[in-house]
């Protein structure tokens, strides 16, 4: 991570630096200067449904204009849609105003390159270098202009539908789709309806303050209840910016990102289309690793964050990867993780195999995994403290090679994440609390 950029752009609480109008204006200017130095003077800007998006959008526009870069607005759009549209419009970069799965009072800025991938470390560093300089302004005749792309949503809907096999239909399926009151509210339900499904919407009435609030991929209670009430075949949950997917089966049982990756890999093997192996993260459930081993599919772990999953995929020249939290990447379809695309892949496999959502994950048995978050802002690094290290060593010894312990700092929130995984649920929970208590005593 750089001085300003984290693992997923720049993120924080609105009104606190760096998510302030003055900083974001300068960020737009700095990004504009870095891009203009390479001869690029056109960017796209999209956002999720947070009320602060309007303010930050205006600040970015002013900054880019001052640097002589033209801006085209997409309006509320999922993060993966902005990556796609950046490529199709041949823009120099796509900018996303979103804090993904965080509450409405947070927001962030992340960038895509002209290829639809995250910015290179080198370009991020050049932007940071400009952020440390005094802002200036091009002459009036060179100021950047602003315009809107009115058909952005329709373009992306058609792209999503193109992933679904033309000979299949969702006409026999009833879906509940939870849009998290976020950026997919006007896109995901239309995609699935146009593919033939009967769609029941929830979390599709954003008001600027209710994004991710008791809904979406991070809170499945409402979706689970609605699936049971509607006697639906499956529930689809997206997060606020549409790059995460979680699924609920007809009985209300959650199918997480690790299980979705396994299901897509198993289907790719049946179709004869799997090339290479699978990338997970250090948080991926060991049950997925063991299940993939039975299928003779290579598996490797990356650091947490779709950025690192993507990096490992490209290094290995593989195509499929993901995280238990619901980031699913398939480079055969898109340049970034996409909740709607992953859902379409899962649904098309269900239709092709004429099976239920539960049947899709047969052959994978998750190990009990407990995650405890401990709030941490600054000061002593608890991951280096002797008491914490001793607690970890003690638990690892007790697990005797039949489980894992992982401690890490979150890249998007001020948290220390304590994860313990093993065969016995009660023991795993106790071990996680034991280590978390030592961490909490430090912070």
78, 64 contact by CB (below 8 A):
no
Q: Tell me the per-residue pLDDT of 222-234, one tens digit each, with 9 for 90 and over.
A: 999 999 999 999 9
Q: Are residues 15 and 126 in the same domain?
A: yes
Same domain? For 35 and 142 the reply is: yes
Residue 136: pLDDT over 70 = yes
CA dist 441 and 388 (Å) reads 9
Nearest-angstrom CA–CA distance, 81 and 109: 15
Cα gap 370→428, rounded to integer Å: 7
Of 152-156, 284-288, 382-386, 422-426, least confident by mean pLDDT is 382-386
**What is the CB neighbour count within 10 angstroms for residue 8?**
21
- Can you give the CATH number for the domain in which 384 is found? 3.30.310.50
Tokens of 288: 């997925």
Same domain, 88 and 124: yes
Residue 1 inside a domain? The answer is no
Catalytic residue numbers read 100
The rounded mean pLDDT for the chain is 94
335 lies in the same domain as 234: no
Checking if the pLDDT of 155 tops 70, the result is: yes
User: What's the DSSP call for residue 118?
Assistant: B
- Residue 419 reports pLDDT greater than 80: yes
Question: Which one, of 396, 378, 395, 403, lies nearest residue 437 by Cα?
Answer: 395
Name the residue among 141, 314, 173 with its Cα closest to residue 250.
Answer: 173
Q: How far, in Å, CA of 173 to CA of 162, rounded?
A: 19
Indicate which CATH number applies to the domain containing 338. 3.40.120.10
Q: Is residue 145 part of a domain?
A: yes
Query: Quick one: which of 161, 372, 336, 320 has its CA closest to 241?
Result: 336
Least confident of 94-103, 157-166, 418-427: 418-427
- Whole-angstrom Cα distance, residue 268 to residue 262? 10
Distance CA 164, CA 347 (A): 9
- Rounded to whole angstroms, the Cα distance separating 82 from 91 reads 11
Above 80 in pLDDT, residue 122?
yes
One domain, residues 241 and 353 = no
Q: Same domain for 124 and 22?
A: yes
Task: Kindly indicate the confidence band of residue 219, based on its pLDDT and cuts at 50, 70 and 90.
Answer: very high
> How many distinct structural domains can be found in the chain?
4
| Domain boundary residue, one of 198, 222, 252 | 252
Tell me, yes or no, whether 2 lies in a domain.
no
Judge if 351 and 374 occupy the same domain. Answer: no
Task: Check whether residue 247 and residue 269 sit in a common domain.
Answer: no
Which of 361, 383, 403 is the endpoint of a domain?
361
- pLDDT per residue over 321-373, tens digit each? 999 999 999 999 999 999 999 999 999 999 999 999 999 999 999 999 999 99
Radius of gyration of the chain (CA): 22
Burial of 151 (0-12, 13-18, 19+ CB in 10 A): exposed
Please determine, for residue 1, whether its predicted confidence score (pLDDT) is greater than 70. Answer: no
Quick check: is 5 in a domain?
no
pLDDT of residue 247: 98
pLDDT beyond 80 at 411: no
Helix extents (H) in 186-336: 188-194, 221-230, 257-271, 286-294, 306-316
> Are both 409 and 296 inside the same structural domain?
no
Closest CA to 45 of 139, 144, 192: 144
| 4 is a domain residue | no
Q: Which residue has the tokens 């599919």?
A: 297
Structure tokens at 414: 């001020």
Per the domain annotation, does 3 fall within a domain?
no
Number of H helices and E strands in the chain, helices first, is 13, 18
Q: Which of 361, 385, 419 is the last residue of a domain?
A: 361
- H or E segment and range at residue 352: helix 339-353
Categorize the per-residue pLDDT at 112 as very low, low, confident or very high, splitting at 50, 70 and 90.
Answer: very high
Burial class (CB in 10 A: 0-12, 13-18, 19+), 52: buried
Whether residues 242 and 263 share a domain: the answer is no
Residue 427 lies in a domain: yes
398 occurs within a structural domain: yes
How many alpha carbons lie under 13 Å from residue 9 in its C-beta half-sphere? 23
Both 200 and 309 in one domain: the answer is: no
pTM strictly above 0.75: yes
Residue 172's contacts (CB-CB under 8 Å, 6 or more residues apart) are 351
Which of 302, 360, 366, 313 is closest to 335 using CA atoms? 313
| Average pLDDT rounded to a whole number, residues 173-178 | 98
Compute φ and ψ for 314, nearest 5 degrees.
-70, -40
Structural domain containing residue 191: 155-163+170-252
Percent of the chain with pLDDT over 90: 85
Alpha helices in 281-338, H assignment, sequence order: 286-294, 306-316
Q: For residues 19 and 111, state if they share a domain.
A: yes
Q: Tell me the pLDDT tens digit for each residue of 3-17.
A: 888 777 899 999 999
pLDDT at 412 over 80: no
- pLDDT at position 8, please? 78
Taking every pair of C-alpha atoms in the chain, what is the biggest distance, in angstroms? Answer: 70
pLDDT class of 297 with cuts at 50, 70, 90: very high
Q: Indicate the helix (H) or strand (E) that contains 44.
A: strand 42-47
Mean pLDDT of 177-202: 98
The structure tokens listed for 120 are 């290179």
The average pLDDT across 299-326 equals: 94
């Amino acid at each position: 991570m750089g001085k300003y950029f984290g693992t997923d752009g720049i993120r924080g609480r609105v009104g606190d630096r760096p998510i302030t109008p003055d900083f974001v204006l300068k960020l737009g200017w700095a990004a504009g200067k870095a891009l203009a130095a390479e001869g690029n003077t056109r960017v796209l800007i999209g956002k999720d449904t947070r009320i602060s998006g309007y303010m930050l959008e205006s600040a970015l526009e002013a900054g880019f204009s001052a640097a002589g870069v033209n801006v085209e607005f997409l309006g509320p759009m999922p993060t993966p849609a902005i990556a796609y549209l950046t490529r199709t419009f041949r823009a120099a970069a796509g900018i996303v105003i979103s804090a993904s799965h965080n509450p409405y009072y947070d927001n962030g800025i992340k960038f895509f390159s002209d290829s639809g991938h995250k910015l290179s470390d080198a370009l991020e560093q050049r932007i940071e270098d400009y952020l440390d300089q005094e802002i200036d302004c091009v002459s009036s005749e060179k100021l950047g202009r602003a315009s809107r792309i009115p058909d952005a949503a329709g373009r992306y809907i058609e792209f999503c539908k193109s992933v679904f096999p033309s000979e299949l239909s969702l006409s026999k399926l009833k879906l509940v789709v939870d849009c998290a009151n976020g950026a997919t509210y006007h896109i995901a339900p239309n995609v699935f309806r146009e593919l033939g499904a009967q769609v029941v919407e929830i979390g599709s009435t954003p008001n600027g303050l209710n994004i991710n609030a008791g809904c979406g991929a991070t809170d499945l209670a409402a979706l689970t209840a609605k699936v049971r009430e509607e006697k639906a075949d499956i529930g689809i949950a997206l997060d606020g910016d549409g790059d995460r997917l979680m699924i609920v089966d007809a009985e209300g049982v959650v199918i997480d990102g690790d299980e979705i990756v396994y299901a897509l890999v198993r289907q790719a093997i049946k179709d004869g289309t799997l090339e290479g192996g699978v990338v997970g993260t250090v948080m991926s459930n060991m049950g997925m690793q063991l299940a993939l081993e039975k299928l003779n599919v290579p598996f490797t772990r990356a650091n947490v964050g779709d950025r690192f999953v993507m990096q490992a995929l490209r290094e290995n020249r593989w195509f499929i990867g993901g995280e238990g939290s619901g980031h699913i990447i398939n480079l055969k379809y898109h340049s970034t993780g996409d909740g709607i695309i992953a859902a379409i892949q899962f649904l098309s496999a269900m239709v092709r195999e004429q099976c239920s959502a539960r049947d899709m994950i047969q052959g994978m048995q998750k190990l009990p995994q407990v995650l405890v978050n401990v709030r941490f802002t600054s000061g002593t690094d608890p991951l280096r403290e002797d008491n914490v290290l001793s607690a970890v060593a003690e638990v690892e010894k007790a697990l005797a090679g039949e489980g894992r312990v992982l401690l890490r700092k979150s890249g998007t929130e001020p948290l220390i994440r304590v994860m313990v995984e093993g065969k016995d649920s009660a023991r795993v929970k106790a071990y996680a609390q034991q280590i978390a208590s030592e961490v909490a005593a430090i912070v």
